[in-house]
């Protein structure tokens, strides 16, 4: 697929229809399942991760394949651990490289029966029935690797006879995602609290209710970035809330401060506009510990603008769909940008230069690599080895981008 817009600083006007947040949808799917479908979701995410999870929850098969859906693997493991059935969960080759031992150990601490069918600490997993009357209601778990492990436990906690108290140890990764889970639990009537390093979730009998889900703030980041590359922007993004529970809503603050992009909310939409004659900073220093899904967007944007970026708190990027730190470094180098990297940081000093020559960007089967690097097409032509990878979270991404930048 060739992208060739090559009009950096053009004026942008239009409306972008964002997808439902897969993070919120996947959490709601688990709550709907443990409520025995008393919770009704008004509109589902069409992201492949959510489709895979929804199908898996309905599956009666002895072997469930979650493909490359990391959230589905983690949430489903916790859910099935207490469903009194024997099942094996498998996934893609990359999924089998993504650690899950922290979650498995926690589930077995509670009294579940989860084991590995191949390599210790990694999928595939085998889940067997456990006795709910023998379950413990208090555990400790490291919070350093993935917030999804914590959220998975929180989401099944209301179905456990005595609820669950979770003591978190170590630096907490992606805290806003745990807070999102807590707020969604409370929204459905569950008594839960998250304070510092302690989480308490009580057993709960659900009542019939509907849940409305907002759009994905992570997906919005790519259009904030495109707006920052324009000379004048008036771009509406649909179904985003001012008081969102999604941590990536930090975009509003970051883009106003560093790129001169303001966010005007009107009911459930936000309109982006650029400040005239805004002076870009020479250096931006950001900690992505709580916002790892924004790291690629900001890294590529700063390379496009020639703004020095020092990005830290990137530990979790090593175990995503790919090693995102290495992937960023490798693909930026093709564009003449040298990235200085460690296992938890990346520094970018160079600027991508305009050119008529096309460069192929490798996605590494990572949706965020494709969406982040798409903005480079405003500077020079690029192609992707697999543009369909965006279906993981935003199937209509390229059509929405085309609609906005090709007018």
CATH number for the domain that contains residue 57: 3.65.10.10
Nearby residues of 33 by Cβ (< 8 Å), 6 or more positions away: 57, 79
Do 93 and 45 sit in the same domain of this protein?
Answer: yes
Task: Write down the pTM of the prediction.
Answer: 0.93
Do 89 and 129 sit in the same domain of this protein?
Answer: yes
Which one of the listed residues 65, 216, 293, 366 is annotated catalytic?
293
pLDDT beneath 70, residues of the chain:
407
pLDDT at 39: 97
Domain that holds residue 336: 2-20+215-405
CA distances (Å), origin 250, targets 24, 224, 243, 255: 17, 12, 11, 9
Do 201 and 318 sit in the same domain of this protein?
Answer: no
Q: CA 357, 359, 365 angle in degrees (round to 5)?
A: 165
Do 296 and 310 sit in the same domain of this protein?
Answer: yes
How many domains, in total, are found in the chain? 2
pLDDT at 145: 84
Which of 160, 184, 211 finishes a domain?
211
pLDDT at 9: 76
Do 93 and 34 sit in the same domain of this protein?
Answer: yes
DSSP 178-214: HHHHHHHHHHTT--EEEETTEEEE-------EEE---
Which of 167, 193, 211 finishes a domain?
211
Phi, psi (rounded to 5 degrees) for 211:
-125, 125
pLDDT at 407: 63
pLDDT at 198: 97
The tally of CA atoms less than 13 A away on the side-chain side of residue 224 is: 29
Do 237 and 193 sit in the same domain of this protein?
Answer: no
Handedness of CA 378, 381, 386, 387 (dihedral sign): positive
Which of 196, 211, 226 finishes a domain?
211
Instruction: Evaluate whether 330 touches 362 at the Cβ level (below 8 Å).
Output: yes
Do 201 and 314 sit in the same domain of this protein?
Answer: no
Do 161 and 269 sit in the same domain of this protein?
Answer: no
Q: CA 15, 21, 25 angle in degrees (round to 5)?
A: 145
Do 201 and 267 sit in the same domain of this protein?
Answer: no
Is 290 a known active-site residue? no
The tally of CA atoms less than 13 A away on the side-chain side of residue 249 is: 19
pLDDT at 4: 87
Nearby residues of 355 by Cβ (< 8 Å), 6 or more positions away: 379, 380, 381
Do 7 and 71 sit in the same domain of this protein?
Answer: no
């Amino acid at each position: 697929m060739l992208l060739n817009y090559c009009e950096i600083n053009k004026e942008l006007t239009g409306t972008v229809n964002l997808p439902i947040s897969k993070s919120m949808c996947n959490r709601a799917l688990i709550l709907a399942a443990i409520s025995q479908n008393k919770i009704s979701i008004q509109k589902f995410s069409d992201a492949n991760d959510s489709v895979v999870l929804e199908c898996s929850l309905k599956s009666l098969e002895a072997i469930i394949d979650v493909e490359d859906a990391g959230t589905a693997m983690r949430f489903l493991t916790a859910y099935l651990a207490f469903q009194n059935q024997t099942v094996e969960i498998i996934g893609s080759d990359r999924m089998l490289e993504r650690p899950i031992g922290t979650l498995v150990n926690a589930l077995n601490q509670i009294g579940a029966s989860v084991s590995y069918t191949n390599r210790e600490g990694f999928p595939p997993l085998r889940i067997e029935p456990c006795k709910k009357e023998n379950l413990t209601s208090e555990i400790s778990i490291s919070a350093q690797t993935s917030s999804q492990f914590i959220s998975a436990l929180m989401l099944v906690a209301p179905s456990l006879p005595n609820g669950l108290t979770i003591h978190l140890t170590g630096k907490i990764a992606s805290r806003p995602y745990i807070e999102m889970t807590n707020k969604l639990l409370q929204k459905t009537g569950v008594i839960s609290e998250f304070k510092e390093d302690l989480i308490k979730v009580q057993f709960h009998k659900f009542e019939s209710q509907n849940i409305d889900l907002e759009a994905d703030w992570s997906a919005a980041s790519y259009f904030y970035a495109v707006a920052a590359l324009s000379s004048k922007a008036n771009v509406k993004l649909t179904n985003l809330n001012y008081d969102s529970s999604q941590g990536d809503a930090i975009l509003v603050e970051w883009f106003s401060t560093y790129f001169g992009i303001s966010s005007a909310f009107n009911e459930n939409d936000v309109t982006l506009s650029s400040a005239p004659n805004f002076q870009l900073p020479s250096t931006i220093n950001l900690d992505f510990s709580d916002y790892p899904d924004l790291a690629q967007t900001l890294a590529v944007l700063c390379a496009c603008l020639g703004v020095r970026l020092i990005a830290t708190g990137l530990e979790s990027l090593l175990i995503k769909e790919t090693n995102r730190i290495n992937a960023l470094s490798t693909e930026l180098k093709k564009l003449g940008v040298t990235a200085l990297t460690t296992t938890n940081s990346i520094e970018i000093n160079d600027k991508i230069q305009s050119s008529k020559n096309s460069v192929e960007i490798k996605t590494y089967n990572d949706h965020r690599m494709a969406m982040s690097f798409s903005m480079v097409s405003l500077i020079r032509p690029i192609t992707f080895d697999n543009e369909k990878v965006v279906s993981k979270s935003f199937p209509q991404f390229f059509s929405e981008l085309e609609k906005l930048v090709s007018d």
